[in-house]
Amino acid sequence: MNCRPYCGACCIAPSITSPIPGMPNGKPAGVPCIQLDKNYHCKIFGQPDRPAVCAQFEAVEYVCGEHRSEAISTLNDMEAATLPNIIFKDKV
């Protein structure tokens, strides 16, 4: 599957913990990557300084869905499912 034009869901929805040029601490979920241009294309696609996690991502139908909003929703769900479980204990 090829990336859908004007999507960029994979550059917005997930968190990225590795450094990105212009974002040395990575990016939080839901925040557009600084390397995403106005047409939702990666400005560093294929470059050696692109994070490995980005380079390894493949557009597949079950993630990308039928349209951009489906992709955002699926990636949000995947992000939530991979968050560490944190247990808060009430202090007495």
First-to-last alpha carbon distance for the chain, in angstroms, is 54
Span 57-66, mean pLDDT? 94
In angstroms and rounded to an integer, the radius of gyration of the C-alpha atoms of the chain is 15
Span 46-67, mean pLDDT? 94
Sign of CA dihedral 46, 4, 74, 65: negative
Span 41-56, mean pLDDT? 95
The domain spans of the chain are: 9-81
The overall average pLDDT reported for the chain is 91
Of 87 and 3, the structure prediction assigns the larger pLDDT to 3
Give the predicted TM-score (pTM) of the model: 0.83
